[in-house]
Chain A
Amino acid sequence: MVFSDIFFIYIFLPLFLLFYFAARNIKQKNVVLVIFSLAFYAWGEPLCVFLLILTSLLDYTWGRFIDKYRGSRKAKIGLACSVIIDLGILAFFKYRGLIVTAINAVTPLELTVPEVTLPIGISFYTFQSLTYTIDVYRGKAKMQKSWGKYLLYLSMFFQLVAGPIVRYSDVSREIENRTVKISDFSEGLTRFIFGLGKKVIFANNVGAIADQLLGFDTAPDSVLAAWGGVIMYTLQIYFDFSGYSDMAIGMGRMCGFHFPENFNYPYISRSATEFWRRWHISLGSFFRDYVYIPLGGNRKHQMLNILVVWFCTGLWHGANASFILWGLYFGVILIIEKKWLLKALDTLPRIIGHIYSLLVIVVGWTIFYFTDLSKCGACMKTMFGAGGAALSDPVTESALKGSIWLIIAAIILCVPVYGKVSEICEKGVRRHPAAFGAVSAVKLICLLAIILVSSLLLVGDTYNAFLYYRY
């Protein structure tokens, strides 16, 4: 089940809310949340739901163990066990194929490469669980005495399958106690609908164009097809993933949780370094706090640390050479920026930084899009004018022209224009209270329109899986 399923929006969610708000106290609410979360996960993973429960049981136990032997060697052993087992499970389910391929490549063995089916969200919840044991070890989080509550944290369906990667310490207080104000619920609902619109109206439709333009056999039909395709994908992945995060954060708010933000207008960055502070923030900060800094951060062998982190970031996205290449690509660029480029960019006009960043980002997504490296190479060649492809072609022209208003709107929404507009509205309304009714009515109608249009598009649409379900 994905958040943008008709079934989810109109059946699962209202049923959940009904039970959740019918529950009288926090204990009951937590029980409702766990039951619905497990049902949500079991809907997609009827068997692997037990793996999730097992992970929660293990890390809950390691948490108690670490807490009990705090300060002694045993605590360290407990932490090591937790990390090794979690990553081991992840490796088994996600990297089994890659590992066997690698073994075959360097040894004379010829093992059969296993078919790997990835349990949904395993990359996300494994990392979430790790934040718990590590933070308990570090003393940054209190040990959770109740397994039920730990299961609640890990299985919470809002962010279970595609992030944001919510740390245990972010929500530990709200698991114990939380209140939902009218404004929380209303803002959460608004956020959910915005996320739905981002996903269904924007991501799905620009994504279809990207697939059409990049679905070539040997090379893109024209330079415009290559650039158009990767730019549409650039838009798609932002609207898809940030839309999902919005829906997750919104539903969290509706139930009194405050999840950290995951996106902050990444495409207005002026460097790749800045981009990674604005894109998938919860993943970047995870790697910063749990990998980069423990490795020595910027105190010792910083360059190596950066490369390790980015190798891991790439690998986290998938057991595939192109993801690793994509990670290392950013690793190298970040090193170059740290060493020289950031200083240079500071002295140049802002626009240069923007253009440079967008170029780096778009090329990055080109590597990311193609699982087939030879196609990726062919696309890049065409993008940068090698190979003598035509400038444009009728299919691309009609695809872009046929959705031009949508594309323009998408580009505008990539910059913080909505925040500005609502700020102006609010100021105006404070000065002229009479206008409040009209402004509110417009806002409300927009919300209704987004949910209705999204639903209409979903009825005829089969192109709907979230991109980040793959990771």
Chain B
Amino acid sequence: MKQRKKRRKNKISTEKAMERAYKKQHAAYERAVIVVIIAAIIFIGLCLTLLTRPTVSELEKRTLTEKPIFSAESYFSGEYTADFTTYFSDTVPFREQLVSMGSWITSHFGISTPTFYGNVSVVADDNGQAITEAETTAVTTAAVTEETEPTSAEGDEEEIIVTTVPEVTETEETTTVTEEEVVGNIEDFSNNGIIVDGVEMYGDTAGVMLFGGDSEAGKRYAEVISAYKEDLGEDINVYNMVVPTSVEFYLPSKYSRYSASEKDAIDNIYSSYTADVISVDAYSEIAQHTDEYIYLRTDHHWSQRGAYYAYKAFAELLGQTPPALEDYETGTKEGFVGSLYSYTNDSRLLNIPEIFTWYKPTSEYTAYYYDYETLEETGTGTLFYDSASGSYCYGMFLGGDALHVKAVTQLETGRKIAVFKESYGNAFAPFLVDSFDEVYIIDIRYFGTNAVEYIKENGITDVLFINNAFAANTDSLIDCIEKLRVNPTGSITAGE
């Protein structure tokens, strides 16, 4: 009896001791939580305040939000604090590395699968035929709706706005340009979202931008170019080349309903002129070489090899024999990751950097660079910025979009060409030094005077409009082309 009591007593006291030990342990755990978590927060907080903040993101190809300037007005409108919050999270030290770690994490939220970014909608039937006019138009207008507020992004790639690139310092060249645009503004495009993975190009996975298409805009594009022909008259040839993009050739048929046919879009444009514009059929030539590396896998642009085939088509139309590919000086740049990563942050694109191949004409020429607004000469050099590297590789052609360039060659054909282009034209235009005495390269978005006057004044004999299918179906870009025709002479207003 006594023993039992004692045993019970013992048991109770051990239980009590255990409970006490547990409580002690638990208190230690609670302390550890506080110490560890608060230390982590303070450490990260200090890093965020003390480390240097980046100002540009190379991979995302954009300048990061700038620190807002305080004023009573901006404070009371709520702008200051909103901008400051955006600035603070946009310019986190080591942003690029952290973003790619974040996207690595999200890529493990599920099974790796082709991923659609943006508001992807059905725009065609399974044969790529546009479903109904009304529906496709609705889609494209939705896709190009301008969002001015970057903070309101909803995971859409349409939100990425400015794409200014920092200085491409050039040693052999005397050009003094400091900022250029390398990729176009994605809002400019009649796109229907982006698909990453699920598309194969040249033996590797790839991303492509889906084509929304807008046949009304296409008709208007043809009319706007026809108006140039009317203004320029009989003696000046007006050529129009609409370039297909990668989605046309590489999108597997199971996804074809998400991308309208660019062939149809091009045919639509080529049959809608109201004046004597000469179409350049680059499509057929490019379509013959789809097993060659003619488009970029991680970027919305073509490669220069693709641009060469377009040039070949143009030269043959002019009755010339273009140099063979082997006749160009060629070289490569490694580690190129293009705009599709900027738009999606999809780590799979980061993991498949491309080898960026360039082709330089060997004929002699001098390139004169001009400020696109004032048309004042800023320097001379070649049509290539050799130092462009990494995700800026496409900027090696003409140093980006915004520069107005004239190349003077040694030829004596008596013909001078003006090229009106968006960024697709950058890779294409250098080839023209083998076909014309002078080549004037003008970006439709950046030109500060009246284009018709300019063409006439410079004795230009041929005018080429070269735009990709997206651009030629996008109203805001068509507006730019129209604006250049009616701009007052000498006006210092850029296209956009």
Contact = CB atoms under 8 A, between A and B. Distances in A.
Nearest to A450: B37
Nearest to B31: A182
A358 to B, nearest CB: 23
B135 A218 contact: yes
Contact of A186 (B19, B33, B112, B135): B33
B490 to A, nearest CB: 41
A433 B112 CA distance: 42
B11 to A, nearest CB: 14
Contacts of A451: 37, 40-41
Contacts of A440: 25, 28-29, 32
A460 B99 contact: yes
Interface string B1-43: 0000000000000000011011001011111111011101110
Contact of B85 (A1, A405, A460, A461): A1
A402 B41 contact: no
Contacts of B27: 182-183
B44 to A, nearest CB: 5
Query: Considering residues B99, B139, B254, which has the most beta carbons from chain A within 10 angstroms of its beta carbon?
Result: B99
Interface in A422-471: 429-430, 433, 436, 440, 443-444, 447-448, 451-453, 455-463
A139 B246 CA distance: 74
Interface in B54-85: 75-78, 81, 84-85
B255 interface: yes
Nearest to B255: A394
A189 B121 contact: no
Contacts of B29: 186, 436, 440, 443-444
Range of interface residues on A (Cβ < 8 Å): 35 or more
B325 interface: no
Interface string A13-53: 11001000000000000000000000000111111000000
A221 interface: yes
Given A186-B31, A398-B115, A444-B32, A6 B92 contact: yes
Contacts of B19: 430
A212 interface: yes
B105 A457 contact: yes
Query: Considering residues B31, B36, B120, B153, which has the most beta carbons from chain A within 10 angstroms of its beta carbon?
Result: B120
B334 to A, nearest CB: 25
Query: Considering residues A11, A221, A406, A459, which has the most beta carbons from chain B within 10 angstroms of its beta carbon?
Result: A459
Contact of B121 (A9, A217, A461): A217
Given A6-B89, A205-B106, A448-B40, A182 B81 contact: no
Contact of A190 (B25, B33, B258): B33
B466 to A, nearest CB: 32
A433 B45 contact: no
A43 B34 contact: no
Contacts of A393: 122
Nearest to B108: A405
Contacts of B255: 394
Contacts of B81: 1, 42-44, 46
Interface in A396-422: 397-407
Contact of B159 (A186, A218, A462): A462
B360 interface: no
A187 B84 CA distance: 32
B105 A189 contact: no
Given A1-B85, A398-B198, A462-B151, A189 B37 contact: yes
A217 B116 contact: no
A93 interface: no
A10 B45 CA distance: 5
Contacts of B152: 462
A216 interface: yes
A402 B111 contact: yes
A211 interface: yes
A286 interface: no
Nearest to A2: B85
A389 to B, nearest CB: 11
Nearest to A401: B113
B99 A10 contact: no
Contacts of B198: 398
Contact of B92 (A9, A215, A217, A459): A459
Interface in B140-181: 142, 150-155, 159
Contacts of A443: 29, 33
B101 interface: yes
Interface string A167-200: 0000000000000001101110110010000000
A451 B45 CA distance: 13
A9 B44 CA distance: 10
Nearest to B116: A395
A380 B425 CA distance: 47
B114 A398 contact: yes
29 contacts: A6-B92, A10-B48, A11-B48, A45-B78, A46-B78, A182-B30, A182-B31, A185-B30, A189-B38, A211-B155, A217-B142, A394-B255, A395-B258, A398-B198, A399-B116, A401-B110, A402-B111, A402-B112, A430-B18, A430-B19, A433-B21, A443-B29, A444-B33, A451-B40, A451-B41, A458-B89, A459-B102, A462-B150, A462-B155
Given A394-B114, A401-B111, 9 more contacts: A9-B41, A11-B49, A208-B155, A215-B119, A398-B114, A404-B110, A429-B22, A447-B37, A462-B155
Q: Nearest 8 CB-CB pairs, A to B?
A: A186-B30, A460-B99, A462-B153, A406-B109, A10-B45, A456-B102, A404-B110, A403-B110
